[in-house]
């Protein structure tokens, strides 16, 4: 996998992780939140691993079945895409 694709995936997953941290902080402060569809889109285009790590580290949206299922679906799509890009 070329350097550009690796950088793209690292960046998206870092953004996903940081967005989980930020959104959790905003939830604690009862302030404006990031829409779930933004997480879903970010996960679908390659950031699902970062979002999943953020969910685990920050206990973020783990009690929302729809969120967990969509991010799990995004992760499956990401893994398939990673393998297609590698081969």
Domain ranges of the chain: 3-86
CA distance 74 to 71: 5
pLDDT at 85: 76
pLDDT at 1: 60
Q: Which residue has the tokens 């679906």?
A: 73
pLDDT, block means (10 residues), the chain with 87 residues: 82 97 96 96 96 95 94 94 80
Torsion angle of alpha carbons 67, 46, 41, 18, nearest 10°? 70
Helix (H) or strand (E) holding 42: helix 36-42
Tell me, rounded to whole angstroms, the distance of Cα 33 from its chain centroid: 15
pTM of the predicted protein model: 0.90
């Amino acid at each position: 996998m070329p350097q550009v694709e690796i950088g793209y995936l690292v960046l998206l997953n870092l953004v996903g992780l940081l967005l989980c941290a930020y959104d959790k902080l905003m939830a604690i402060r009862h302030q404006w939140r990031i829409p779930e569809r933004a997480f879903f889109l970010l996960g679908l285009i390659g950031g699902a691993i970062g979002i999943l790590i953020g969910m685990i580290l920050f206990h973020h949206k783990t009690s929302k079945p729809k969120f967990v299922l969509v991010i799990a679906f995004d992760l499956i799509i990401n893994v398939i895409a990673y393998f297609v890009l590698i081969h």
